[in-house]
A and B are shown apart, each in its own frame.
Chain A
């Protein structure tokens, strides 16, 4: 919701290029998670970070808890990377994960 702001809302990349998605929080978060929703509608957990940086293949995510933001970097984008990327974080109640509105990524040949 409003406590988790994602940007940009949409992004178009050519194959082989890269970019960064950002997630800003209006309050201090203890952790962030990133998900990809693919063309079939499935939600895939990409990262869980309590701090620092994690990397998985062509994806890298960082979480700056002090400044309340997280980024997801995509490099060497492939067609199958197309989809909607969501960040999510727990609010004061750790059982409830709030999602941003998503970044719709289109990778073009």
Chain B
């Protein structure tokens, strides 16, 4: 059973629209993260949360907003979508800053 659930697996959006990527983890970890992987760049850190508080943000654009409604949830809202946002978005979690575990990813295509 997957311990980090990401929904949806695949997402197609039109330019200018808004989407929310869902992530829930059942590992009991206190820290959650979002990473992005595109063909042009290696795995790229976006956000980290610890105990539902934002710890680090290395995403330049405010169009990307993480949302943590529960301790084991970290969703990612993306507004005004652009074709360059097309990528696979991985949610991850860890206990403190130790071993990192990833979800299976949401592959986003912006047309």
Q: Is A93 an interface residue (CB 8 A)?
A: yes
From A40, A45, A98, A100, B101 is in contact (CB under 8 Å) with A45
Give the bracket for the number of chain A residues in contact with chain B: 20 to 34
Return the chain B residue nearest A43 by Cβ. B102
Q: How many Å from the CB of A63 to the closest CB on chain B? A: 14
Return the chain A residue nearest B101 by Cβ. A45
From A42, A48, A100, B42 is in contact (CB under 8 Å) with A100
| A96 close to B42 (CB less than 8 A) | no
A contact residues around B90 at 8 Å (CB): 43
| B45 close to A41 (CB less than 8 A) | no
A contact residues around B69 at 8 Å (CB): none
Return the chain B residue nearest A98 by Cβ. B45
From A1, A48, A88, A100, B98 is in contact (CB under 8 Å) with A48
From A41, A96, A99, A101, B58 is in contact (CB under 8 Å) with A96
Q: Is B18 an interface residue (CB 8 A)?
A: no
A40-B104 Cα distance, complex, nearest whole Å: 9
Q: Is B108 an interface residue (CB 8 A)?
A: no
B residues in contact (CB < 8 Å) with A: 31, 33, 42-45, 48, 50, 55-56, 58, 88, 90, 97-102, 104-105, 107
Please, could you name 6 A-B residue pairs with CB atoms under 8 Å apart, sorted by A?
A35-B102, A41-B105, A42-B102, A93-B56, A95-B50, A99-B43
**Additional pairs, 5, CB under 8 Å, beyond known A41-B88, A99-B44:** A35-B102, A41-B104, A42-B102, A86-B42, A96-B56
